[in-house]
Amino acid sequence: MAKQFELGFIGAGNMAEGIAAGILQQRVLTPAQLIASDPVEVRRTLFAEQFSVATTDDNRRVVAESRCLMLAIKPQSFDEVMAPLANAITADHLLISIMAGMSTERIAAIAPQAAARVVRVMPNLPIRLGAGMAGMVGGRHARPEDIAFAKQLFDAGGQSVVVADESLLDAVTAVSGSGPAYFYYVVEAMIAGGVAAGLTSDDAQKLAEHTCLGAARMMIETGEPPAELRRKVTSKGGTTQAAIEHMENSGVSQNIREAVLAAARRSKELGK
């Protein structure tokens, strides 16, 4: 039987909001093809008013009426939210999960009778601005067209990559899922350095923000490796070389590498 909705969100939080915005702005789906459920009235109101989509506080309705389910809930709420829905999930459903650390096998096990088709995705928050990055992998029963559909949804909010093995999603989480926080941390330090050198806080922030924006655009639009772009900025004996040498002597590069690995290890732990 045909479903009324192409995509149903179980959970309508900030990340779900960003995903929905991209899907609708890029016209991958229409508002009439979406439904969102959330226990919090203010989130349902936001989805209804901002996106003109159907909303409900009844997760079973979303399952019954949607072809694809977007599991946008906290991992620790998975059993509580999904156990009552298990008998309503069928082989016709595609489950797309954005729950950190929750494996495709763990998700599929909630409805073993359905041989559930699961695609696991790790997006990041800039998807809310159409500048997101997501990594994804298909579970045991996922079909090529399932992964293609998930990629279409997340490409609408930025870019995505399909990884070959699910264990690599821990690395995706460490690089792009948590990555925006690393970037903000570096920008904070740049601002603090500018203030220490005599700039006002506002001027230092504007200089740091737009410098980072321009640098990122150059890297993406030229396609040149970051090491090559850095070399072009670094004149021998100049100010940039002084800064880079100080960072190298302080172990900044090694510390960032180890921080990414720490995030990957934590992602593995959360999935156990």
Ordered by start, the domain boundaries in the chain are: 5-164, 179-270
Q: Distance (Å, rounded) from C-alpha 246 to C-alpha 259?
A: 19
DSSP alpha helix (H) spans, 84-178:
104-108, 144-155, 169-172
Report the share of the chain in percent with pLDDT over 70. Answer: 99
For the CA atoms of the chain, what is the radius of gyration?
Answer: 21
Question: For residue 48, what pLDDT band results from cuts at 50, 70 and 90?
Answer: very high
pLDDT the model gives residue 1: 53
Give 203's DSSP letter.
H
CA-CA distances (angstroms) from residue 197 to 110, 187, 237?
57, 15, 20
Distance of CA 222 to the CA centre of its chain: 25
**In this model, does residue 28 exceed pLDDT 60?**
yes
* pLDDT value at residue 2: 60
Pair 44, 17: CB distance under 8 Å = no
Residue 121 pairs in a beta bridge with 136
Rounded to whole angstroms, the Cα distance separating 218 from 11 reads: 36
CATH number of 5-164: 3.40.50.720
pTM: 0.88
> Rounded to whole angstroms, how far apart are CA atoms 236 and 27?
50
pLDDT in tens, 136-179: 999 999 999 999 999 999 999 999 999 989 999 999 999 999 99
78: tokens are: 């998975």
Q: What is the mean pLDDT of residues 193-202?
A: 98
Please report, as a single letter, which amino acid is at residue 54: A
Q: Is the pLDDT of residue 33 over 80?
A: yes
Least confident of 1-10, 28-37, 101-110, 207-216: 1-10
Residue 249 tokens read as 């002597």
**Tell me: domain 179-270, CATH 1.10.3730.10, correct?**
yes
| Rounded CA separation 265/251 (Å) | 21
Strand-pair partners of 138: 119
